[in-house]
Amino acid sequence: MNATYKTKAYSAASATSPLAFTAIPRREPTPHDVRIEILFCGICHSDVHQVRNEWSGVMPTVYPIVPGHEIVGRVAKVGPAVTKYKPGDLAAVGCMVDSDGACPQCRAGQEQFCPNMILTFNSPDKHLGGVTYGGYSNSIVVDERFVLRVPSSLKLAGAAPLLCAGITTYSPMRHGGVTQGKKVGVVGLGGLGHMAVKFAHAFGAHVVVFTTSPAKQEDALRLGADEVVISRDANQMQKHAGSFDFILDAVSAEHDLNAYLQLLGCDGTLTLVGAPAKPLPISAFGLITRRRSLSGSCIGGIAETQEMLDFCGQHNITADVEVIPIQKVNEAYERLLKSDVKYRFSIDMASLKSQ
Ligand SMILES: [Zn+2]
Ligand SMILES: [Zn+2]
C-alpha cells in the first residue's frame, strides 16, 4: 500500500449535496511523481455536470467527488526519478493524469484518445483505489509525464483555465489549419468561445463571432474579433454564406448547425467542442454541395498542451477570469449556469489553506 498524506479539499457527498470542506488522502510521490501545491484552479462546466451526476450514462460519478482540472501551482516535492521538475518550479495539470503510454494514440502524442486514459477526477485511481481527486484541493500528486510547464510571464489566475478551456479551443484550430488570411467563425462567447477568439486572433485569422446577444458585441471586439454577427438575424447570417474556412462551435445548448454549415466555403470545416445533450439534425445537402466537413474535438495531447502554454507565454494570452475564494464555489456554480461570469471562475487556493 502506498504511503499517503492528508490535504484539504472541497468535495460533494452526493448529486444533490453542495461542495463542502473536507480532507482527502494523496499518495506520497513515487519515483516518477511530482507533488504540486495548487495556487489556482479554474471552474469548468464539466465540474458542475459531474458533481451533479449529469453524465451518469457515460461516466457515472463516484462520491465523494473532488472536481477541478484547470490546475496551476508550484512544485513542492519530486520523486527520485523525476528529471523535468524541481521544487519551486511553476507547474500545471489539465484534464488527464495518466495513460497506458503504449497504444497507437499515446505513441502519436494523443493521450486524450487513449482507451486507458485516467482523468484528473472521477477516474479509477490505480495507486490508492477508489477514484482520482481533482484540483479543488491544496495539493495534487501526478506522474511527471502529465505535468506541464507554465511560462513565468503569465498571470496564474488566468493561466489556470488554459488547461481545459484553452487547449479545447487551441487544438481544433491548429488541426483545422487556422492561420493568417483564413476566415474563422466562433459560435458562442463563453468560457470556451472567448479563448477561441483570442487564439484565432493571435493566429492572424479574420475572426467573426456569432452570438445571440447584441450586448456581447463590444466585448467580442475587445477580445480580438474583427466582426460580430447576431446569429438570430437571418440577413446578417446570409451575408456570410459560403465564406468561412473554419468555424468552431462552442455552444452546449440546442441550436441549428445547418445555419453554420451553409456559411462554410468549399472544404470548410465546422468543429464542435460544445456538447448538446440531444442529437442534432443535419442536412446532407449542407455538407455535400461544397465538400464541407463536420467534426468534433476534445482537449489535446500533453505535447500539444505544452505547445499551447508556450504560445500563450509568447503572446501573453490568458483567460479573462473572476477570482473567487473556494468558500464561494457553490454560488459560482449557480452563476455559471446563468452564464453570469466573464469568462471563467478561477479559485484562489490560498482561501482553502487558511480554512
Ligand atoms: Zn474542463
Ligand atoms: Zn494509450
Backbone angles phi, psi at 348, to 5 degrees: -80, 110
Residue 29 exposed, middle or buried by CB count within 10 Å (0-12, 13-18, 19+): buried
Q: How many whole angstroms from 46 Cα to the centroid of ligand 1?
A: 5
Contacts of 235 (CB under 8 A, 6+ apart): none
CA of 198 to the centre of ligand 1 (A): 18
Per-residue pLDDT of the chain (355 residues; tens, 9 = 90+): 579 999 999 999 999 999 999 999 999 999 999 999 999 999 999 999 999 999 998 899 999 999 999 999 999 999 999 999 999 999 999 999 999 999 999 999 999 999 999 999 999 999 999 999 999 999 999 999 999 999 999 999 999 999 999 999 999 999 999 999 999 999 999 999 999 999 999 999 999 999 999 999 999 999 999 999 999 999 999 999 999 999 999 998 899 999 999 999 999 999 999 888 788 999 999 999 999 999 999 999 999 999 999 999 999 999 999 999 999 999 999 999 999 999 999 999 999 999 9
Which ligand is closest in space to the CA of residue 115? 2
Using the mean position of ligand 2's atoms as its centre, give its distance from the Cα of residue 149 in Å.
Answer: 22
Q: What is the CA(101)–ligand 2 centre distance, in A?
A: 5
Q: Which ligand is the nearest neighbour of the Cα of 114?
A: 2
CA of 301 to the centre of ligand 2 (A): 11
- Indicate which ligand has the atom closest to the C-alpha of 336: 1
Kindly give the distance from the C-alpha atom of residue 47 to the centroid of ligand 1, in angstroms, as a whole number: 7
Given a contact cutoff of 8 angstroms between Cβ atoms, the answer to whether 69 and 134 are in contact is yes
Q: Which ligand is nearest to the CA of 102?
A: 2
Strand partners, 175: none
